[in-house]
């Protein structure tokens, strides 16, 4: 089994999850005679817009991680397909968690649900990579140890931050938002993974 | 006619049906001053979340089945395109059946509609495979009988379970839910089909 | 310019338009203590389900037509890209026309809007083919005249039936529904186009 | 890193953003005994339909621009992936801006939000091209200067018009609509970019 269609299905789920995020932001209904009321209604959408951007970028980090895995994964088997489908299930759930966070970001439950969703996604992406690379199961036999480890560490970094953010949400909900925002920014910086990809 | 675009359209419909499932789960509106009310509102979403996960995994089994067919199908003709489109029509209908099941899982009609939808999808996937392999019509001439039969049996297993679950829904609705949940778990186990794919 | 991404974008729009159709069918809210009320509420969804299936199959005919064009179209230019985008615009509009038809199928306006949408899609598909094949502009130089003409006649057949159905909708709305339903069934039968594709 | 999956994700986001535009147009609810009321309700949807068509065509111009970039971009790195994801974020936001414009096109805020969204998309597409071509970073080493400059100028033309339209929206909202409509028509005309692609 080649990986072409696995990647096509995954790209589809990512593209839709990313774009569906916008559906949760509704156009406000205001009396059009009152221009300042419209501006105010728009400003009240700020939490939703911020949540949209954060989730879009976080989906971007997961997509890049998934993409980097399949640069190295040469073939698929039933277990890998299912690990991927379970991973995609957590990705498809994110538009709900995002809308929930946008509505209840000032409450512990908002950040806890959102963080748990990201943790589940990260854990499955980690399993996906570990399963594929253990004993070079589904990757090239001569894939460097360095690539296997740096790929794993990159996902583990996310797991640590999402855990901290989820715990923080219990105590100081707004601070967890700062942590969620910082993650994609950290992932934008090039790392060891890239050095290998560019060689 | 090659099968590239047939697979692309199918992956698209699957990816969207999977991701649209989440749209049916709405963020609850509660008085934010009351934290315990929010937790309770979230717990009341449990049937929807369970239905989301079951349908996502069942869509996963259909996608893997469809994917496995196209590992062997070499070309397409008008009849195959239409069998595929009718199959995709039942896949695209599943987000509605899922939302209906989530709302009325304790009523016979919930499981009956859901089970009938799965039966229709399974029957069309069965026809799709039988049509393509009869007389090796659209597959390689030297495809082993074993592959043809094990592929067919795999779909028939689903048809039997979905029939039983649909009948059960008439009598004991909650028990049919257990059967629907067991199906994707059974499909996660490797079978004869995989042995052939790995050779 | 190759046609790979044109086909990818088109498959995406088709897959989404097909799957979005289901979003217009809402789960009815009934008192769950009353089982017969649920059955009745479900039966009242019949026009929506019929409209869903008709539109899904009609989108199927357009997709197969579009697919058959790109079997022969070898390259793209700006004009072809735009004809394709305008065609996709009419495809993306169909979920609205379908929901409108489901709500007002017994009124002239329901069938007229739906038929006009199909006519616009058909006219743009016709233009797309005529533009690409005129003087063998974007197809192989040795493409047989027979292929060019049978491809064109196939689209023209649709234009005639959609015109008749639209006019019929003015006078006897329910009869136009029969005509809309017959179209995909007629397109399921193999024609001259297929004979060429299979050679 | 090859660009195949970057293009697949982008085509997915474009196809979904284009098709989601229709979701914002709701079927009106009118007393079906009154045929003229239905016609009137349909006519009241005119601003939404116009906004749908304008946004579909503008998304078409961005898609063609993005497509033309990837005809020349040979490889991807982390920075390019992120510029692309930020660009897609502005594309995914457009269904909201479009619905907002349809509701408030006669108010400055309608056109200002819409124009700002297009400006953000255009600015990121510009950065994407400049980053990829600077020092021939991710394109072929012998790509002609002419191609680099004409590609850049094409995006800059859009930035100028969207700036003017946004400023106009502050003063005469309806006139900004005319400018937004003219853009895709101007982009439909072939330019220097095409001459290079056809050689």
Angle of helix C173-188 versus helix C46-72 axis, rounded to 10: 40
Neighbours of A72 (CB within 10 A): 20
Largest CA distance in chain C: 69
Tokens of B141: 């001439």
If you average pLDDT over each of A116-120, C146-150, D31-35, which comes out highest?
A116-120
Residue C157 CA to residue C140 CA, distance in Å, equals 25
pLDDT of C184 above 80: yes
pLDDT tens sequence across A153-176 = 989 999 999 999 999 999 999 999
Burial of C4 (0-12, 13-18, 19+ CB in 10 A): middle
* CB-based contact C11 B13, cutoff 8 Å: no
Tokens of C195: 């004979």
pLDDT number for residue C137: 93
pLDDT of B14 above 90: yes
pLDDT number for residue A186: 85
Burial of C185 (0-12, 13-18, 19+ CB in 10 A): exposed
In Å, how far from its chain's centre is CA B54? 9
pLDDT number for residue B192: 61
Given CB atoms, is A172 within the 8 Å cutoff of chain B? no
pLDDT of C111 above 80: yes
pLDDT of A192 above 70: no
Judge whether A169 and A176 are in contact, CB under 8 Å.
yes
pLDDT number for residue A90: 98
Chain C positions in Cβ-Cβ contact with residue A16 (cut-off 8 Å): 16
Q: How many distinct helices (H) and strands (E) make up chain C?
A: 8, 0
pLDDT number for residue D158: 92
pLDDT tens sequence across B52-73 = 999 999 999 999 999 989 999 9
pLDDT tens sequence across C55-107 = 999 999 999 999 989 999 998 888 999 999 999 999 999 999 999 999 999 99
Given CB atoms, is B194 within the 8 Å cutoff of chain A? yes
* CB-based contact B188 A78, cutoff 8 Å: yes
Residue B183's pLDDT band, with cuts at 50, 70 and 90, is confident
Given CB atoms, is B62 within the 8 Å cutoff of chain A? no
Judge whether B65 and B154 are in contact, CB under 8 Å.
yes
Judge whether A77 and B198 are in contact, CB under 8 Å.
yes
Mind telling me how many Å the CA of D93 is from chain B's nearest CA? Answer: 17
Judge whether D99 and D24 are in contact, CB under 8 Å.
yes
Chain A positions in Cβ-Cβ contact with residue B23 (cut-off 8 Å): 20, 23, 95
DSSP for A149-161, please give it: HHHHHHHHHHHHH
pLDDT number for residue B193: 62
Region at C107 (left for phi over 0; alpha for psi -120 to 50; beta for the rest):
beta
Residue C152 CA to residue C131 CA, distance in Å, equals 11
Mind telling me how many Å the CA of B15 is from chain D's nearest CA? Answer: 10
Segment A37-57 mean pLDDT? 93
pLDDT number for residue B160: 95
Coil, strand or helix: which one is C2?
A: coil
pLDDT of D61 above 90: yes
Neighbours of A59 (CB within 10 A): 24
Please enumerate in sequence order all residues whose Cβ is within 8 A of that of C6, keeping only pairs 6 or more positions apart, or say none.
Answer: C70, C76, C80, C81, C84
Judge whether C122 and C158 are in contact, CB under 8 Å.
yes
Nearest chain C residue to A11 by CA: give it: C12
pLDDT of C142 above 60: yes
The residue among A124 and D185 whose pLDDT is bigger is: A124
pLDDT of A190 above 60: yes
Chain B partners (3+ C-beta pairs within 8 A): A, C, D
CA distances from B21 to A89, B26, B27, B66 (A): 10, 11, 14, 20
pLDDT number for residue D194: 67
Angle of helix A108-133 versus helix A78-104 axis, rounded to 10: 160
Query: What does the mean pLDDT of chain C come to?
Result: 91
Nearest chain C residue to A19 by CA: give it: C16
Nearest CB to C93 within list D7, D12, D22: D22
pLDDT tens sequence across C16-37 = 999 999 998 999 998 877 778 8
pLDDT number for residue A191: 67
Nearest chain D residue to C108 by CA: give it: D35
Please enumerate in sequence order all residues whose Cβ is within 8 A of that of B39, keeping only pairs 6 or more positions apart, or say none.
Answer: A109
Segment A104-129 mean pLDDT? 96
Neighbours of B20 (CB within 10 A): 23
Segment B141-160 mean pLDDT? 92
Residue B152's pLDDT band, with cuts at 50, 70 and 90, is very high
Segment B115-128 mean pLDDT? 97
pLDDT number for residue A185: 87
pLDDT number for residue C191: 67
Residue ranges of E strands in D51-161: none
DSSP letter at A105 equals T
Q: How many CA atoms lie within 13 A of A25 on its CB side?
A: 29
In Å, how far from its chain's centre is CA D199? 27
pLDDT of C48 above 70: yes
Coil, strand or helix: which one is D139?
A: strand
Chain A positions in Cβ-Cβ contact with residue C16 (cut-off 8 Å): 16
Nearest chain A residue to C16 by CA: give it: A16
Segment D41-45 mean pLDDT? 93
Burial of C142 (0-12, 13-18, 19+ CB in 10 A): exposed
Tokens of B196: 């052939």
Give the dihedral sign, CA A98/A99/A105/A111: negative
Percent of chain C with pLDDT over 90: 74
């Amino acid at each position: 089994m080649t990986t072409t269609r696995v990647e096509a299905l995954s790209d589809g789920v990512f593209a839709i999850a990313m774009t569906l995020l916008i559906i949760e932001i509704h156009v406000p209904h205001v009396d059009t005679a009152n221009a300042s009321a419209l501006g105010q209604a728009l400003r009240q959408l700020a939490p939703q817009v911020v949540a949209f951007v954060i989730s879009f970028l976080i989906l971007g980090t997961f997509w890049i991680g998934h993409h980097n895995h399949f640069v190295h994964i040469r073939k698929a088997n039933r277990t890998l397909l299912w690990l991927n489908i379970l991973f995609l299930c957590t990705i498809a759930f994110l538009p709900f968690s995002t809308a929930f966070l946008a509505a209840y970001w000032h409450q512990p439950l908002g950040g806890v649900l959102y963080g748990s969703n990201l943790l589940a996604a990260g854990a499955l992406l980690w399993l996906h990579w570990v399963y594929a690379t253990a004993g070079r199961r589904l990757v090239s036999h001569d894939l460097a140890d360095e690539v296997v480890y740096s790929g794993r560490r990159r996902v583990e970094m996310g797991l640590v931050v999402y855990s901290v953010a989820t715990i923080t949400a219990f105590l100081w909900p707004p601070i967890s938002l700062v942590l969620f925002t910082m993650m994609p920014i950290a992932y934008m910086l090039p790392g060891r993974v890239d050095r290998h990809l560019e060689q």
